[in-house]
Amino acid sequence: MDPFHNPFIAEHAERARTIPLEEFSPANPKYMEMDVWRPYFSRLREEAPLHYCEDRIIGPYWSLTRYKDIMATEVNTKVFSSSSTFGGITLMDQREELPMFIAMDQPKHDEQRKVVQPIVSPQNLENMEKLIRQRTQRVLDALPRNETFNWVEKVSIDLTNMMLATLFDFPFDDRALLTYWSDSATANTLGGGHVDSEETRERILAECLAYFTRLWNERVNAEPGSDLVSMLAHGPATRNMSPREYLGNLVLLIVGGNDTTRNSMTGGVCFLNQNPDEYARLRANPALVEPMVSEIIRYQTPLAYMRRTALEDFEMHGQTIRKGDKLAMWYVSGNRDSAAIDNPDQFIIDRARPRQHLSFGFGIHRCVGNRLAELQLRILWEEILQRFSKVEVVGPPKRVFSAFIRGYTELPVRVIP
């Protein structure tokens, strides 16, 4: 049986074709969880590139779905704010503001971003490569043979939280907490998981802050180190942050360094199994790992959108986005826009300009860790090709209930030597 067979797709393709657009809310987390989002977004790109809807949970919002419009909005930071003062970067307005530098405008954004940016300097990436490779080899060598296991848990989560522990110089044996806090920060409270309310989320994040406050206190009195906590504790733009702002920046760095890479590590296995000819071409020519990594990140789009809030009225596609309105830039849709990318629904491991995709965002908020993410994925696939003729998907993937995080909780696989 095909593990990727989706029994819902035909019904949703029909619904996507016929639903009155004003009744359609693209941010319904079910579309991502059920993996039926494609026909809806393809219709929006075609018929309603600037789409308005009133969602009964998240309220009214606009959606942008074309590559070019998203790019133009990304660089128009004078009109489109990321600030947590207005609601930040996700559609659901928060009850209590959580400031973090991705959810700040200039100039404060720039000052805080520059504090942490050296962690992913070209020199630092070069220094980390050996460590990442050794860990990847260890994780892959320890995988069970001739038996089904969950790739998400044994590979994707393990590799990403080890990386994160290193970046924070976080106690290694406690590193599972990083994954737990990351998942808690992004969980949709209606998803049936351990975060069933905003109160639960706040309680868990308070534990995260308490733990990291201990690390801050150790490091603020020591010589400046090269880990993220030390950088924040000594950085001129961050050393006087409120605890709430420290928590916000921690959540940003934990989610940014964790969820996204983790889900691309899983996505790649899915896409190569769905495209056996591409897998064969990769095996025949391991040099294709490099362009493939960018293609995996495009095809996965681990963050489906980013939100902005209009600071003034703005005309687009004959409509007026009013001051104060919220707007989602759907990266997941722009990455499938045939006006910007040839055969966008095809997974092609050797595209001519593979880095031209929206998954990292663009402009001043472009993912600070993009080259590290690419490095981790490149090493993972180089080492997989050294060991296994195939990582075979043997059961259906389970996807996250979220309109924001495009990820997996489960991918049953076997590795074939």
Partner 1 sequence: MPRATFIDHAGESRTVEGAEGENLMRVAVLNDVPGIDADCGGECACATCHVFVDDAWLDKCGEPTELETSMLSFAATAQPNSRLACQIILTSALDGIVVETPVAQH
Question: Residues 298, 401: contact at Cβ < 8 Å?
Answer: no
Determine if 117 is a binding residue for partner 1 (CB under 8 A). yes
Tell which one of 11, 22, 54, 110 touches partner 1 (CB under 8 A).
Answer: 110
**What is the smallest separation between the CB atom of 255 and partner 1, expressed in angstroms?**
20
Q: How far is the CB of 290 from partner 1 (least distance, A)?
A: 12
Coil, strand or helix at 62: strand
Report if residue 122 touches partner 1, rule: CB under 8 A.
yes
Nearest distance from residue 306's CB to partner 1, in Å?
13
Binding of residue 339 to partner 1 (CB under 8 A): no
- H or E element, residue 166: helix 158-168
Least separation, in Å, of the C-beta of 110 and partner 1?
6
* Residue from 176, 150, 171 nearest 161 by CA: 176
Q: C-alpha distances in angstroms, 224 versus 99, 119, 227?
A: 24, 13, 9
Interface residue with partner 1, options 15, 38, 114, 133 (CB under 8 A): 114
H-helix or E-strand containing 392?
strand 390-393
Amino acid residing at 103: A
**Which residue lies nearer to partner 1 by CB, 145 or 353?**
353
**Beta carbon nearer to partner 1, 294 or 309:** 294
Tokens 């004078």, residue?
A: 78
Cβ 75 to partner 1 shortest distance, Å: 5
Structure tokens, 364: 């001043």
Of 115-123, 171-179, 249-257, 393-401, which part binds partner 1 (CB under 8 A)?
115-123
User: According to the binding rule CB under 8 A, does residue 106 interact with partner 1?
Assistant: yes
Q: How far is Cα 38 from Cα 333, in angstroms, rounded to an integer? A: 8
Question: Does residue number 74 form part of the binding site for partner 1 (CB under 8 A)?
Answer: yes
Distance between first and last Cα of the chain: 22
For residues 330 and 70, the answer to whether their CB atoms sit within 8 Å is yes
CB under 8 A: which stretch of 20-28, 55-63, 107-115, 234-242 binds partner 1?
Answer: 107-115
Find the part of the chain contacting partner 1 (CB under 8 A) among 18-26, 110-118, 229-237, 385-393. 110-118
Q: Is 364 in the site for partner 1 (CB under 8 A)?
A: yes
Q: Which is nearer to partner 1, 122 or 417 (CB)?
A: 122
Provide DSSP, 120-165: G-HHHHHHHHHHHHHHHHHHHHTSPSSS-EEHIIIIIIHHHHHHHH
The reply on whether position 356 binds partner 1 by CB under 8 A is: yes
Closer residue to partner 1 in complex, CB, 111/382: 111
Asked if 30 touches partner 1 (CB under 8 A), the answer is no
What letters, b where the CB count within 10 A reaches 16 and e where it falls short, cover 340-359? Answer: bbeebeebbbebeebeebbb
Closest separation in Å from C-beta 294 to partner 1:
9
Binding positions for partner 1, rule: CB under 8 A: 71, 74-75, 106, 110, 113-114, 117, 121-122, 353, 355-356, 360, 362-364, 366, 368
